[in-house]
Amino acid sequence: MRGLADIRTKLSGRVRLIIAANVLVLAALFTAYTLNPLYDVLKRVGLVDAVSWCIYALLFASTLFASWLCLGDVFTKIRGGATGQRSGKAIALDGALLLVWCLVLAGICFYGFMLGLMGL
């Protein structure tokens, strides 16, 4: 099990990396409609909806993966089995960032739902 502990310590910022990548992908998704000429090309070809749905699926799947990794760190910390385990403060920071990210996603989904109810 020594190899697994080494991998965990080398990849200690993996949850933060996933969340940062998700923020960048979400920002690119929102700015693509106004700033990016790629949106015009995708619109002419008819792939805007397919690309948007793939990005949404990527955001959802990577959020679930980050949650799984964070819960694995928490259970490893509780169990105390790994030799190179992360500190409680680092795990708490990852959990807080993940919670904020999930709340942002829930807020965006709620906003889209309300826009749909208004018929926009």
pLDDT at res. 102: 92
Question: Are the beta carbons of 73 and 86 closer than 8 angstroms?
Answer: yes
pLDDT confidence band for 7 (50 / 70 / 90): low
**CB neighbours (10 Å) of residue 111?**
10
Q: Biggest alpha carbon distance in the chain?
A: 57
pLDDT (tens digit per residue) in 10-66: 566 888 999 999 999 888 777 766 666 777 888 889 888 888 888 889 999 999 999
Examine the pLDDT at 89 and tell me if it is beyond 70.
yes
Provide the total of helices (H) and of strands (E) in the chain, helices listed first.
5, 0
* Proportion of the chain above pLDDT 70, given as a percent: 81
Averaged pLDDT of the chain: 82
Alpha helices in 46-87 (DSSP H): 48-79
**CB neighbours (10 Å) of residue 86?**
17
In angstroms, the Cα distances linking 37 to 12, 43, 51 are 37, 10, 15
Question: Are the beta carbons of 39 and 32 closer than 8 angstroms?
Answer: yes
Give me the residue label for tokens 């920071």: 93
